[in-house]
């Protein structure tokens, strides 16, 4: 390890920044995130540095060339000029005085280097490649930024607030470590991340008492929208909860690729439903969620699309409330928006549709009980979920209630996945299209003139048939 990683207390540091161009501005912006005192010396000042100096009392701006005495009373020096002779000179005199000096983009002249930072103060992650692979470091930072919640700083503040209380309640270092792992990784941590500190504090008090008594804390249910199929469309929060679940209850619409992202040692319970084949009745699914949570498990109810759009999430929540089980809901990209986007069919468009309706095409007793006259509107898009089996009825009813038989219609199977297939036609022709007969659920139906845009706006590499 060539460079020793260290975090320096900046409250009593006076930094010298030589140079005032855009490179210096980036260093100045970083320093301004600390309470450090900053002196900038340069004969020329960029607009960015001038704006920073005007806005901050931390900065003293000196408009002249560097003088050797400028390093007096400084503890840290950044050099960001385009004059190599000046840079080398400042390095040499600073090194002779045993001062920390960094010549930007010149690693041999650096007695310290600034790391790549993920800033969630008070939580700070600093990384370094020793100056040999800055692009790789930037890539790693981007990955970390995508998986670390933006408001994880709330967990840091919460931990600081209750640190002494937990220390007083649990004398063992090991006990405290296990307890904090449960807190930060469980529903208390989730409450903090949602900004509900009062609820989190109350839960921590209960958990601390339970932990001292050897009782397992109560579990919680997270209704998580898994989106239409492409794992890249998961929300950060959905992925985080999936990776810390004890039990995952999932349905048929959750793709194998998404299921692969679930915590490896989690118990996975399949409760999928197919046409005329309900593996587990909905009422039993509701009770199952409550039972697992009451046993102290973190339960993720993983649903294709969004839990509140034809996902029966409301019914499941009602049962959880009846049993006194805590829950949270994580929205997902619903099948309609996923299918439309990946098929190049905007659901609304200024020249085609100013409104959109999501409805079910589910057959019951060989019919579909909908307010058909209300669905037939001008400049409107219709999206039918679960309508493939009743496709002919849907087309006939729309035409019967005044929609032109030439109205464009699209069927999207396996939306957002590599096996996505799109079949287009009109209300009069789609049901008899041979390609339609080969489609299988889940297939979404989109009706409206916006379907005409598919031919030019389709960008995804799925299969297309017209």
The verdict on 203 and 97 lying in the same domain is: no
The verdict on 243 and 206 lying in the same domain is: no
Catalytic residue among 153, 268, 273, 291: 273
The verdict on 359 and 444 lying in the same domain is: yes
The verdict on 271 and 206 lying in the same domain is: no
Q: What CATH number has the domain bearing residue 321?
A: 3.40.1010.10
Q: What CATH number has the domain bearing residue 160?
A: 1.10.8
pLDDT of residue 113: 86
The verdict on 240 and 274 lying in the same domain is: yes
Q: Specify the 3-state DSSP secondary structure of 361.
A: coil
Burial class (CB in 10 A: 0-12, 13-18, 19+), 176: middle
pLDDT of residue 107: 86
Rounded Cα gap, residues 133 and 137, in angstroms: 6
Q: Is 273 a catalytic residue?
A: yes
Beta strand segments in 242-397, E: 247-250, 267-270, 273-274, 277-278, 298-303, 326-330, 355-360, 380-385
pLDDT of residue 184: 84
The verdict on 104 and 162 lying in the same domain is: no
In a domain, 171, yes or no: yes
DSSP summary character for residue 111: S
Q: Which of 83, 114, 145 is the last residue of a domain?
A: 114
Q: Are 386 and 360 in contact (CB under 8 A)?
A: yes
In a domain, 137, yes or no: no
Q: What CATH number has the domain bearing residue 16?
A: 3.40.50.720
Q: Specify the 3-state DSSP secondary structure of 283.
A: helix
The verdict on 325 and 340 lying in the same domain is: no
Low-confidence ranges of the chain (pLDDT < 50): none
The verdict on 195 and 231 lying in the same domain is: no
pLDDT of residue 258: 94
In a domain, 5, yes or no: no
Spell out the SS3 assignment of 53-110.
Answer: HHHCCCEEEECCCCCHHHHCCCCEEEECCCCHHHHHHHHHHHHHCCCEEEECCCHHHC
Number of domains composing the chain? 4
Helix or strand holding residue 15 (H, E): strand 14-18
Positive/negative CA dihedral, 184, 185, 187, 192:
positive
Q: Is 73 a catalytic residue?
A: no
The verdict on 192 and 106 lying in the same domain is: no
Q: Which of 162, 187, 212 is the last residue of a domain?
A: 212
Q: Which of 333, 354, 375 is the last residue of a domain?
A: 333
Q: Are 13 and 74 in contact (CB under 8 A)?
A: no
Residue-number span of the structural domain to which 291 is assigned: 220-333
Catalytic residue among 70, 230, 246, 251: 251
In a domain, 35, yes or no: yes
pLDDT of residue 65: 95
Give Cα separations from 429 to 406, 412, 425 (angstroms): 9, 16, 6
Q: What CATH number has the domain bearing residue 457?
A: 3.30.950.10
Rounded Cα gap, residues 228 and 417, in angstroms: 8
pLDDT of residue 388: 93
Rounded Cα gap, residues 27 and 57, in angstroms: 17
The verdict on 284 and 363 lying in the same domain is: no
Residues 6+ apart with CB under 8 A from 110: 101, 102, 103, 131
In a domain, 354, yes or no: yes
Beta bridge partners of 421: 413, 463
pLDDT of residue 274: 60
Q: Whose structure tokens read 């960094």?
A: 102
Rounded Cα gap, residues 215 and 85, in angstroms: 68
The verdict on 329 and 365 lying in the same domain is: no
pLDDT of residue 465: 52
pLDDT of residue 216: 66
pLDDT of residue 43: 95
In a domain, 285, yes or no: yes
In a domain, 139, yes or no: no
Residues 6+ apart with CB under 8 A from 23: 80, 104, 105
Residues 6+ apart with CB under 8 A from 424: 408, 409, 410, 411, 430, 451, 454, 464, 465, 466
pLDDT in tens, 392-443: 999 999 999 999 999 999 999 999 998 899 999 999 999 999 999 999 988 9
Rounded Cα gap, residues 50 and 54, in angstroms: 6
Rounded Cα gap, residues 120 and 94, in angstroms: 32
In a domain, 134, yes or no: no
Decide: pTM greater than 0.85.
no
The verdict on 61 and 97 lying in the same domain is: yes
Q: Are 218 and 182 in contact (CB under 8 A)?
A: no
What string of DSSP letters covers 378-440?
SSEEEEEES-STTHHHHHHHHHHTT--TT-EEEEEESTTSTT-EEEEEETTTGGG-HHHHT--
């Amino acid at each position: 390890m060539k460079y020793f990683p260290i975090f320096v207390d900046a409250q009593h540091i006076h930094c010298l920044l030589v140079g005032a161009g855009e490179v210096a501005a980036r260093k100045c912006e970083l320093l301004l995130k600390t309470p450090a005192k900053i002196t900038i010396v340069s004969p020329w000042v960029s607009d960015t540095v001038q704006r920073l100096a005007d806005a901050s009392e931390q900065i003293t701006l000196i408009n002249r060339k560097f003088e050797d005495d400028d390093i007096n009373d400084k503890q840290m020096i950044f050099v960001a000029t385009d004059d190599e002779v000046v840079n080398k000179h400042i390095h040499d005199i600073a090194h002779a005085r045993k001062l920390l000096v960094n010549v930007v983009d010149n690693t041999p002249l650096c007695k310290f280097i600034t790391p790549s930072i993920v800033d969630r103060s008070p939580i700070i992650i600093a990384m370094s490649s020793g100056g040999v692979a800055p692009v790789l470091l930037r890539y790693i930072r981007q990955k970390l930024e995508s998986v670390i919640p933006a408001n994880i700083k709330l967990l840091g503040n919460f931990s600081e607030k209750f640190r002494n209380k937990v220390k007083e309640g649990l004398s063992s270092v090991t006990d405290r470590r296990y307890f904090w792992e449960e807190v930060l990784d469980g529903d208390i941590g989730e409450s903090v991340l949602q900004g509900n500190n009062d609820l989190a504090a109350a839960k921590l008090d209960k958990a601390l008492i339970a932990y001292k008594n050897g009782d397992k804390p109560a579990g919680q249910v997270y209704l998580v929208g898994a989106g239409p199929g492409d794992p890249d469309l998961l929300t950060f929060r959905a992925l985080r909860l999936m990776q810390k679940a004890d039990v995952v209850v999932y349905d048929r619409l959750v793709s194998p690729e998404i299921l692969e992202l679930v915590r490896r040692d989690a118990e996975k319970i399949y409760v999928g439903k197919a046409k005329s084949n309900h593996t587990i009745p909905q009422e039993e699914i509701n009770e199952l969620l409550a039972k697992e949570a009451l046993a102290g498990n973190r339960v993720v109810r993983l649903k294709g699309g969004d839990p509140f759009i034809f996902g029966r999430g409301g019914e499941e929540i009602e049962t959880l409330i009846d049993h006194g089980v805590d829950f949270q809901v994580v929205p997902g990209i619903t099948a309609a928006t996923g299918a439309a986007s990946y098929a190049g069919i905007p659901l609304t468009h200024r020249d085609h549709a100013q409104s959109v309706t999501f409805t079910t095409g589910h057959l019951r007793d060989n019919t579909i009980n909908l307010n058909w006259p209300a669905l037939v509107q001008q400049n409107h898009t219709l999206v039918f979920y679960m309508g493939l089996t009743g496709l002919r009825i849907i087309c006939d009813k729309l035409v019967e209630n005044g929609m032109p038989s030439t109205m464009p219609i699209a069927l999207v199977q396996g939306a957002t996945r590599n096996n996505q297939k799109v079949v287009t036609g009109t209300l009069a022709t789609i049901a008899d299209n041979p390609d339609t007969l080969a489609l299988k659920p889940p297939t979404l139906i989109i009706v409206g003139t916006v379907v005409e845009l598919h031919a030019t706006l389709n960008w995804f590499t799925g299969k297309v048939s017209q």
